[in-house]
Amino acid sequence: MSARQLSALQGITHTHMKPKLTGNRPLPYRGPWCGILDTMSEYGAVTRGDAHAAMQSGKYSMQITIESPDQPDVIKLIADLDAYQDSLYPAESRYALDLDSLKKSNVRFAVARDNTGQAIGCGAVVLYDGYGELKRMYVREQSRGKGAAREILALLEGVAGEAGCTVFKLETGPYQPEALAFYARSGYARCERFGDYKDDPLSVFMTRIPGRAADRG
């Protein structure tokens, strides 16, 4: 199964600046859809070390970043997601993207990190001709209920929107009522099967309804 959205982490203050790369990992994506709590005075002067030090000091409690999935802590996060999905659905009813697929040029991968810099949530959007598909949505159990899922989703929809995407779809499963409720609150509704998916009673397909505002409450 894909796009298993599980709740959330914490509200984010948005700014309007593009990501810069420093070292082998990008700084927080600080576009209209994501950022870190409060703001840093001059983005161009900020390094990842600066951001990490600020987070360690407690000034920032979470960051959400467009990153490569090919990092040890992110790979572990994805493995935890796979184990969770294995506990719910048989292998033939799971349609997860592997690491190589997540690194393709038409995929945007978001990572949420806590105040220690550890990955606690992730999600991806695959840009197809005509729509974007949400995949690999996950927040660790101890970090749920605080807004991370909502902000990951907003970031993915935002960066996909910058690429010209206006329609969003996903495939999830019936054994995750919290995920289904989350997507419904976010403006998604059930729809017909799409793409290369087969008919499967353990698949639930959803799409963002054009013009329907998300319930951010």
The more confidently predicted of residues 188 and 146 is: 188
Secondary structure of the chain in HEC code, one letter for each residue: CCCCCCCCCCCCCCCCCCCCEECCEECCCCCCCCCECCCCCCHHHCCHHHHHHHHHHCCCCCEEEECCCCCHHHHHHHHHHHHHHHCCCCHHHCCCCCHHHHCCCCEEEEEEECCCCCEEEEEEEEEECCEEEEEEEEECHHHCCCCHHHHHHHHHHHHHHHCCCCCEEEEECCCCHHHHHHHHHCCEEECCCCCCCCCCCCCEEEEECCCCCCCCC
Lookup: tokens for 199: 């008919």
| pLDDT surpassing 80 at residue 39 | no
Please indicate whether residue 81 or residue 41 has the higher confidence score (pLDDT). Answer: 81
Domains and CATH numbers, the chain: 21-208 (3.40.630.30)
Question: Cα(100)–Cα(97) distance, rounded to whole angstroms?
Answer: 8
Whether 4 has a pLDDT exceeding 60, the answer reads no
With 90 as the cut, is the pLDDT of residue 96 above it? yes
Q: Which two tokens stand for residue 130?
A: 């005509």
Rg value, the chain, Cα: 17
Residue 60 pLDDT exceeds 80 = no
Q: What is the pLDDT of residues 153-179, one digit of tens each?
A: 999 999 999 999 999 999 999 999 999
CA dist., res. 61 & res. 188, Å (int): 28
- Stronger pLDDT, 210 or 40, i.e. the higher one: 210
Categorize the per-residue pLDDT at 146 as very low, low, confident or very high, splitting at 50, 70 and 90: confident
- The mean per-residue pLDDT over the stretch 87-108 comes to 96
Give the chain's mean pLDDT: 78
The confidence band for 145, taking pLDDT boundaries of 50, 70 and 90, is: confident
Q: Give the tokens for residue 141.
A: 């159990």
| Confidence (pLDDT) at 61 | 77
pLDDT at 44: 29
Cα 8 from Cα 150, distance rounded (Å) = 6
